[in-house]
Amino acid sequence: MLTMLTRTSRGVRPVLALVFGFFISFVLVCSLNAQTTFERTSVRSSSPSAVKEGVRVPVQVDKINELVRKSWTDFNLSPSAPESDSKWVRRLYVDLLGRIPSPTEQREFENDEAEDKRASLVRRLLHDDRYTLDYARNWTTIWTNLLIGRTGGTGNNSLVSREGMQKYLRDSFARNKPYHAMVQDLITASGSTKPGTENFNGATNYLADKVNEENATLATSSVSKLFLGLQIQCTQCHNHPFNDWKQDKYWEFNAFFRQTKALRRFVQGTNDITNAELIDQDFAGESNNPEKADLFYELRNGLVKVAYPVFVDGTKIDPSGYVQDVNRRQELAKLILGSKFFDQAAINRMWGHFFGYGFTKPIDDLGSHNLPSNAELLSYLADEFRKTEYDQKQLIEWLVLSEAYQLSSKVNPGNQRDDPTLGEVPQFSHYYIRPFAAEDLYESLLLLTRGTGEEDNYSTTEEQKSAWLQQFSTEFGTDEGDESIDFSGTIAQVLMMFNGDMVRAATRADGGGVLQQIILDPKADVRVKIERMFEAALARQPSRKEATAFQQLVQTSGSPVEGLEDIWWALLNSNEFIFNH
Amino acid sequence: MFFTTPSGMSRRHFMSHMAGASAMVGASLAMNHSLAAAAATLRANNKRCILMWMGGGPSTIDIWDLKPGAATGGPFKPIRTTGDIEICEHMPLTAQVMDRLSIIRNMSTREADHDRGRYYMHTGYVPNPNVQHPSYGSVIAHELAEYRKELEIPPFVSIGGGSEGPGFLGMSWAPFNVDSNGRIRDLEMSVNEARLQRRLASLQMLETSFISENRGVAAAEHAKVLDKTLQLMTSQQMSAFNVAQEPTAVAERYGQTNFGRSCLLARRLVEANVPFVEVNLGGWDNHDNIFPTLQDQRLPELDKGMSALVQDLTERGLWQDTVVLWMGEFGRTPRINGNTGRDHWARCWSVVAGGGGIKGGIAVGKTNEDGTQVDGPSYSSEDLMASVCQAMGISLSTTFQSSNGRPMKIANGGKIIKELFS
């Protein structure tokens, strides 16, 4: 093996290369010594360009561009070059649909000659029926994780129906339900958690596990954090050390949830829980006076204070605990929807999704103690979002058509320091690379594994995906339900990508997936096959050196099919594949 | 410099696996020799650390610093121990090994939120939006790496929980998470050596070219983690994770619980020279019904696992080299709330430390009569971390370069808890 390989290394002296620290002599090393360049990466696409001059874009895009450019000027940054079409389309699919484009979708876009191809692709992904399912799936995944976490509804004692939560979200995103209407549903929902039961209302699953224990403290911290970007959980027990939050604010906010309970429903005659029902019932208050239903909390010095429902801006509501007098969750929803934090929290999260970082760090911590990096842009977008009546697709279109989103992730000497991983405040002068979310990687591998004609069964796929994710999830053992996912960049992830079932299936030439289609194509020779594999996995052509080296590799393999399988394995395991860039 | 350089004997095993690798052995051995010579100049350091992390914030006033008779005291009674201290009656087995453990009763911190407390106690730093600080395990693994050239398995293992991350040290110092059975998924690659070679060489080429495109440090971090993964995939040292190999009698001693198995696995790992192991026991967030929960569930499981670990480490001659640390994110309120629970309390609480040369059997500092504040001087997470570093033979003048170029002192410049070393 060794001698054979060194002999084929074309005049290069036998080299002992270090491959991941191991001594392996291999033909490829001759290429490794040279700087690899990628001038040819976008040969297929028309000249790399941002949204072109003369292409009509919404006026909001111009304003975003103006405000982002202003910060580049202020910080003396020169933006990266625009990303090539072929790489940009991959980025867009991952951010918008939660998966890479299929080879057909990739080619379709690259072959599009129209000047406004980027804008029309964005509109197609957002509004064409062909993409409704993908779009709804991605945003359902994102919001399921926000609302109930990756483990929500999987534990034995959980009242949450994960399926019910996802059904609600999927329907909402498929119909592009306005954001404020969704939030209204989630905060005020009552009914049954489980699909197929009487009175089913999937939105109830958000609060089903958050209201019964500990006087609804979970509901308090989650609602304020998600929908207002306010971190009040610290003030449960004491005044916040760094911001204006005081302990009374916490309990006054908490008071809005005290009419709400999740009731267990049983299979008749047994102790088996079928589902839960989220209801609002009269709250007598802790001193048993429903006309003025109060609650008590304790200061750190042991003093006990009383609280009634008061919103964070000081607005008081009728303290009656009778639901027919006042439904506290309904009142809370009204107040939240009217708050300026509501719009800003939504924008900050959405911006963070598409650009990798929001205007504050963390993304859900707004307030005078943590000023946004581009306050003007944040408040401009918040206003515009409200004007569209919270049309999320409209907002997405503005963001992904903006100049900053077109930029390459390759830095230049003039913007190298715009690096949030170094603790710098992000100025969006280049796209920030980031590893795929676990779900995005799963969906992308699935796309490459699945044959073209194969039906996608939504619920089966979701179940399998959820089971697959469980292996990476850990909980922290607190009753706030904190969890983390041990995934991006970990050994566990690498092991899964090296040897896991999904990648095994994806790298089998007879597995029925994209690899098989490429290998079986009688018209394609090895060179073309390798090119197709690069396109499918990395959305680019191989460099000249890569093309040569990989062709040689196929020739020296036990069989060409094995060689191609091995290259495919390497492509899927590469940083270039598992990063969105 | 993206891939680790050959670092001693550790690669030999993998190479002996490789088809046709024999021709290369000579060269690699030559390399090993020079490295071995360099290694000899380093002072040996066999120190290890096991952190028992009690997720949720354990009620230390009911376990380590009882207040019998005080209104806040709760129903538990103190018992004598083999050390110069009393602890909770529901920790009878641990009471027998307290001559080797000390209680720091004057911890006083400010973070009473789970996330913030977990971060602060793991890193010595309060959360900061612009810097991610490395946790105990990452710091210690990083500092002791040069003394563990022969180690092929991850130097920072977290059992049954997620710990905290490597922060600016990078993902190659992240915790390797396993469950209490030590099971690791997807270890076997089902292709022959020739194909493995081709795959790795192809991958190397792709990794390198992407890194060279200058798109951010994360790309290079990925390559480092690939390296670490390959190392462990082929290592015989991985048998340390096989906790099922232990005789039943030993497993019984630790308790047939997740925590018991985790402690036993931790002992196997430190025996294999892993410098840092974190063992997780959750369920301490007892806002209600705290006393039955402690008495019937948490404490028996803790007592059995913790005492067996200390005893076993001692019997195996590992005690002098192994620092054992017990803590959670904070303690719990002296006041018992309306649900017969205790809430979050960071102002005064206890942690436990021993082994690795740390003095045992004493109480450091004290709290007042009803346990509402520290009486006298207090210690912080930084001080505790500095003390652990001291015991581990890690210099406190060590300074990291954080990713934004700012120097960061190890343990955030904490002061050594001198009572533990007198």
Confidence of residue B171 (pLDDT cuts 50, 70, 90): confident
- Pick from A35, A484, A575: which is nearest to B223 by CB? A575
Number of helices (H), then strands (E), in chain A? 26, 11
Give whole-number Cα distances, A57 to A80, A383, A428, B196, in Å: 21, 19, 20, 50
B396, burial (CB in 10 Å: exposed 0-12, middle 13-18, buried 19+): middle
Instruction: Tell me how close the Cα of A72 comes to any Cα of chain B, in angstroms.
Output: 19
DSSP codes of every residue in B188-214: ---S-HHHHHHHHHHHHHHHHHHHHT-
Confidence of residue A273 (pLDDT cuts 50, 70, 90): confident
| Mean per-residue pLDDT, A453-460 | 68
Structure tokens at A473: 């999830």
- pLDDT of A479 higher than 70: no
Instruction: Tell me how close the Cα of B101 comes to any Cα of chain A, in angstroms.
Output: 25
> Which pLDDT belongs to residue B170?
86
Please state, as a whole number, how many other Cβ atoms lie within 10 Å of the Cβ of residue A457. 10
- Is the separation of the CB atoms in A484 and B164 below 8 Å? no
Confidence of residue A34 (pLDDT cuts 50, 70, 90): very low
Confidence of residue A52 (pLDDT cuts 50, 70, 90): low
Alpha carbon distance A396, A379 (integer Å): 16
Which residues have a Cβ under 8 Å from the Cβ of A27 and sit 6 or more positions away? A5, A8, A9, A549, A552, A553, A556
- Is the separation of the CB atoms in B181 and B159 below 8 Å? no
Alpha carbon distance B147, B169 (integer Å): 18
> Which pLDDT belongs to residue B2?
31
Alpha carbon distance B335, A268 (integer Å): 42
Residue with more model confidence, A462 or B59 = B59
Confidence of residue A339 (pLDDT cuts 50, 70, 90): very high
Name chain B contacts of A236, Cβ cutoff 8 Å. 343-344
- Pick from A24, A360, A421: which is nearest to B403 by CB? A421
> Which pLDDT belongs to residue B392?
95
| Mean per-residue pLDDT, A5-18 | 32
- pLDDT of B404 higher than 80: no
> Which pLDDT belongs to residue A561?
94
Q: Which of A283-287, A481-485, B299-303, B351-355 has the lowest mean pLDDT?
A: A481-485
| Mean per-residue pLDDT, A202-225 | 91
Cβ contact, residue pair B56, A563, below 8 Å = no
pLDDT tens sequence across A112-159: 999 999 999 999 999 999 999 999 999 999 999 999 988 888 777 789
Alpha carbon distance A420, A426 (integer Å): 5
- pLDDT of B279 higher than 70: yes
| Mean per-residue pLDDT, B61-88 | 96
- The half-sphere exposure of A390 on its side-chain side, counting CA atoms within 13 A, is 16
Q: Which of A14-23, A251-260, A455-464, B88-97 has the lowest mean pLDDT?
A: A14-23
pLDDT tens sequence across B342-357: 999 999 999 999 999 9
Does the CB of B21 have a partner CB in chain A at under 8 Å? yes
Q: Hey, what's the torsion of the CAs at A286, A288, A290, A295, to 10 degrees?
A: -10
- Is the separation of the CB atoms in B304 and B294 below 8 Å? no
| Mean per-residue pLDDT, A335-356 | 97
Among chain B residues, CA nearest to A482: B115
Question: Considering only residues 110 to 129 of chain B, which have any Cβ-Cβ distance to chain A shorter than 8 Å?
Answer: 110, 112-116, 118, 129
> Which pLDDT belongs to residue A475?
63
Counting residues of chain B whose pLDDT is more than 70, the rounded percentage is: 89
Confidence of residue A481 (pLDDT cuts 50, 70, 90): low
Which residues have a Cβ under 8 Å from the Cβ of A367 and sit 6 or more positions away? A229, A230, A243, A244
Match 């696995």 to its residue by tokens.
B265
Instruction: Tell me how close the Cα of A416 comes to any Cα of chain B, in angstroms.
Output: 9
Provide the mean pLDDT of chain A.
86
Q: Which of A154-158, A286-290, B99-103 has the lowest mean pLDDT?
A: A154-158
- Is the separation of the CB atoms in B203 and A513 below 8 Å? no
- pLDDT of A544 higher than 90: yes
Instruction: Tell me how close the Cα of A136 comes to any Cα of chain B, in angstroms.
Output: 30
Residue with more model confidence, B339 or B129 = B339
Length of chain B: 422
Size of interface A-B (CB pairs under 8 A): 274
> Which pLDDT belongs to residue B338?
84
- pLDDT of B19 higher than 50: no
Instruction: Tell me how close the Cα of B162 comes to any Cα of chain A, in angstroms.
Output: 6
Q: Which of A1-10, A206-215, A240-249, A557-566 has the lowest mean pLDDT?
A: A1-10
> Which pLDDT belongs to residue A270?
80
| Mean per-residue pLDDT, A340-350 | 97
Cβ contact, residue pair B18, A22, below 8 Å = yes
- pLDDT of A3 higher than 50: no
Which residues have a Cβ under 8 Å from the Cβ of A243 and sit 6 or more positions away? A231, A367, A368, A369, A370
SS3 of residue B157 by DSSP: strand
Name chain B contacts of A476, Cβ cutoff 8 Å. 55-56, 114, 118, 161-162, 282
Which residues have a Cβ under 8 Å from the Cβ of A548 and sit 6 or more positions away? A31
| Mean per-residue pLDDT, B103-107 | 98
Name chain B contacts of A489, Cβ cutoff 8 Å. 171, 174, 218, 221-222, 225
Instruction: Find which of A235-244, A395-404, B112-121, B336-345 is predicted with most confidence, using mean pLDDT.
Output: A395-404
Residue with more model confidence, B252 or A269 = B252
Does the CB of B195 have a partner CB in chain A at under 8 Å? yes
Q: Which of A282-286, A350-354, B27-31, B343-347 has the lowest mean pLDDT?
A: B27-31
Alpha carbon distance A234, B117 (integer Å): 11
Cβ contact, residue pair B280, A496, below 8 Å = no
The ipTM, to two decimals, is 0.85
Provide the mean pLDDT of chain B.
87
Q: Is the dihedral of CA B85, B88, B89, B90 positive or negative?
A: negative
Alpha carbon distance A94, A441 (integer Å): 9
Q: Which of A544-558, B128-142, B384-398 has the lowest mean pLDDT?
A: B128-142
Residue with more model confidence, A458 or B186 = B186
Structure tokens at B304: 């059995």
> Which pLDDT belongs to residue B6?
31
Name chain B contacts of A491, Cβ cutoff 8 Å. 154, 174, 176, 225, 228-229, 232
- pLDDT of B40 higher than 80: no
Q: Which of A308-312, B29-33, B127-131 has the lowest mean pLDDT?
A: B29-33
> Which pLDDT belongs to residue A122?
97
Which residues have a Cβ under 8 Å from the Cβ of A215 and sit 6 or more positions away? A254, A258, A295
Peptide bond preceding A362: is omega within 30 degrees of 0, i.e. cis?
yes
Report the Cα B337 to chain-centroid distance in Å: 32
pLDDT tens sequence across A488-531: 788 888 999 999 988 998 899 888 889 999 999 999 999 999 99
A176, burial (CB in 10 Å: exposed 0-12, middle 13-18, buried 19+): middle
What pTM did the predictor assign? 0.83
Give whole-number Cα distances, A88 to A66, A84, A137, in Å: 21, 6, 21
- pLDDT of A338 higher than 60: yes
Among chain A residues, CA nearest to B5: A21
**Greatest Cα pair distance in chain A:** 92
Report the Cα A147 to chain-centroid distance in Å: 13
DSSP codes of every residue in B311-361: HHHHHTT-GGGEEEEEEES-EE-SS--TTS---EE-SSEEEEEEBTTB--S
- Is the separation of the CB atoms in B292 and B355 below 8 Å? no
Residue with more model confidence, A6 or A27 = A27
Alpha carbon distance A429, B275 (integer Å): 41
Of B309, B288, B353, B269, which Cα lies nearest the Cα of B64? B353
| Mean per-residue pLDDT, B276-283 | 96
Confidence of residue A484 (pLDDT cuts 50, 70, 90): low
- pLDDT of A416 higher than 60: yes
Cβ contact, residue pair B214, A32, below 8 Å = no
| Mean per-residue pLDDT, B314-321 | 97
Confidence of residue B29 (pLDDT cuts 50, 70, 90): very low
- pLDDT of A550 higher than 60: yes
Confidence of residue B285 (pLDDT cuts 50, 70, 90): very high
> Which pLDDT belongs to residue A362?
85
- The half-sphere exposure of A563 on its side-chain side, counting CA atoms within 13 A, is 16
Residue with more model confidence, A349 or B404 = A349
Alpha carbon distance A382, A452 (integer Å): 41
Of A230, A264, A490, which Cα lies nearest the Cα of A341? A230
Confidence of residue A432 (pLDDT cuts 50, 70, 90): very high
| Mean per-residue pLDDT, A257-271 | 89
SS3 of residue A473 by DSSP: strand
> Which pLDDT belongs to residue B32?
36
Does the CB of B37 have a partner CB in chain A at under 8 Å? no
Confidence of residue B389 (pLDDT cuts 50, 70, 90): very high
